Amino acid sequence: MDIRVSIFDDNNALRDSLCYLISGTPGFVVAGTYPDGNQVLQHLYRDATDVVLMDIDMPGINGIEATALIKGHFPDVNVLILTSYDDNNKVFAAIQSGATGYLLKKTSPAKILEAIIDVNQGGAPMNAGIARKVLDFFREKKNIATNEYDLSAREKEVLSCLVKGDSYKMIANHCYISMGTVCTHIASIYKKLHVNSKSEAVAKAIRERLINSSL
């Protein structure tokens, strides 16, 4: 079955070139070409699409915003970013919005076609330089101990007790503080972690390894 591709790019010449490349290659069909993301949902509702080639810098709704809209309404559609930007902020914003792959516009036509096939088959194609940025980002996150939620030492101790299943009374005894102070710390923990319950706080603490096992 042919792969149906939609192209979003405000560069008319590049958009036309991509259209000729894709429509002229067996196994591919151009579902639509668009100069911006302003009517992205309407376009995709009308023109069934498997893979979207998405530019970032477009008038009105930009590519990152359009990608988030697509993934919110068409989760099975794969979005492949095709842009001139290779700075970290754009790369990670695109990935966080739901993009499945990230290519630079200097990528050869053959590699673009390969990437469309790859992303349609479940891959996450990226230029080597972009992949390196992603790997470096996660390597730094792993190697640098951070406390992005700004939990105090006492709050981390209380959170550790919650993870172990201690009651409020047990926490008070363990930390040598009153029940009222326990409640105050837990309210602060919920606020900092952006959660609303003990179960959510515990799940987040375990998932993101917010506490040391020795606490």
CA–CA separation, 155 and 184 (whole Å): 10
pLDDT of 215 higher than 70: no
Supply the pLDDT for residue 114: 94
- Quote the pLDDT of residue 71: 87
Would you state the pLDDT for residue 131?
A: 79
Beta bridge partners of 3: 28
Q: What is the pLDDT of residue 144?
A: 42
Q: Strand order in 78-83's β-sheet?
A: 28-34, 3-8, 51-54, 78-83, 101-104
Per-residue pLDDT tens for 74-100?
989 999 999 988 877 788 788 878 888
- Name the pTM for this structure: 0.64
Mean pLDDT of 147-175: 86
Q: Where in the chain is the domain with CATH 3.40.50.2300?
A: 3-141
What secondary structure letter does DSSP report for 24? T
The predicted structure's pLDDT at residue 197: 78
Instruction: Tell me: pLDDT of 202 over 50.
Output: yes
pLDDT in tens, 1-37: 899 999 999 999 999 999 999 999 999 999 999 999 9
Six-digit token string for 178? 């009153």
Q: Could you report the per-residue pLDDT of 117-151, keeping only the tens digit for each?
A: 999 988 888 888 887 777 676 665 554 445 578 88
Q: Tell me the mean pLDDT in the region 97-110.
A: 90
User: Looking at residue 93, what is its pLDDT?
Assistant: 80
* Fold exhibited by the domain 153-207: Arc Repressor Mutant, subunit A (1.10.10)
Residue ranges of alpha helices (H) inside the chain are 12-23, 40-46, 63-73, 88-97, 109-120, 128-143, 153-163, 168-175, 179-193, 198-207
Angle (CA) 24-98-107 rounded to 5° is 40
Question: Within the chain, which residue ranges are assigned CATH 1.10.10.10?
Answer: 153-207
Q: Residue 138 has what pLDDT? A: 61
Superfamily of domain 3-141: Response regulator (3.40.50.2300)
Segment 176-201, tens digit of pLDDT:
999 999 999 999 999 998 888 777 78
Q: Indicate the range of 36-40, 83-87, 159-163, 202-206 predicted with least confidence.
A: 202-206
Residue bearing the bigger pLDDT, 214 or 139: 139
